[in-house]
Structure 1
């Protein structure tokens, strides 16, 4: 049960609930209110299955009345007391809804943050268990963080300045074209725009995936085979490529060329596609006559 004597001190000026987030991240956006010009103070809502004595309801009401206001269209998980339990943590809190209508929340990861906003514990909870939270209401709820959810096993339990937060999924950055400086200096602006539109029109690689898209293959007068690929990085970090072994197959599905390339730390930035041309010398070409009306190139596994 909450210890209402440990409530946080209030301030003279209005301070919004810092754990409040856009309700659209956890509920159906069609249910959001359009009124954005008010401070929302929430009424106490006890879970219908809870049978509490009047003294406990009084404590919850006292704590709820002390909560800071939410902005319109927000939900929050506002922690009020934290204590150790069996090697983990139990956090008493209020799950809050500033919308005019009742809502049910989706499963979400809840964080315990210290006063430096460093993560103390993290666990995904099924917030459906909280039930339907009436409009403009706060519902008391306990979150149990087991030992496996504690990030810093040797750290102390935060006493002051801690808070709960709902972890929001990062929206992936839009996949875009990344040109090496030498390409930018060589290509005409119309060609760059065409490449940019092409990258924007195709399905981006899956998160964390690195793949290769064939663009152009042609054999020049010297006998070299020039193969241009789009190096597509679907991860959220830059990838440096030092070596790459490639195989090219022609229209008959036969090996047309094969070779290894040293790339001098060619970098493909996060969530970008970079065009690059690989030149196969005649000694790397496996056939006398190449039919490149249809072809594909792919990396060889080490």
Structure 2
């Protein structure tokens, strides 16, 4: 990504800038290796901001990509939301994701900040792909999207600090929420003592008005990909406030489980979002 490109401007002599929180964890040798990689990057000019991708690695649960953020400005730089896509050797798009790069911190003038971004394997399927031939590039058609943050509104008052931190950490780890969007995400799937299956989910409301949740259709796939349980849970008078999140647990009884010996060492939960919520617009349409 380049901004304010001008070929008449002088080439910038950039310097390695490690994030303060990880600088002490890097050895001198690691820093020298990073400096060598930076020296091989194409030059940038005064006034330009550039992000160069390095490698894509398979990290079991996700794909890790190393990037270099280069600041050719004469002031500190902090990036916010940047859209990336993964393409193969034929430029076919395999995945796209909007990343929040604020955690990369302030990058000083003419600094180069090494950083890592991750694609969850739930978000992208690169099975069978030669990762050495894939590229991470910027989304060509940038759309101005408003990203919103939400917080819980139904955590129990007597919840332990440990559980509160776990729920909060999970909420922050979810993909960015665009304004006007509504999501359901699985927090946990466990077997109950009486042989049932309990599913805990987090529901986020990105609308600027309350959302009434009518029902939650849930399908659980076990580690073998087979349906372990499926059903619809109906909610009465549940309204999620604007820009808020709620946690709910739903339980399939032993008799409702399709597969008695479901392997939950790995699992996947599917939600059917059609007709699950009401925004209140239906009444306006009827008038």
TM-score, normalization by structure 2: 0.44
TM-score, normalization by structure 1: 0.42
Q: Which has the larger radius of gyration?
A: 1
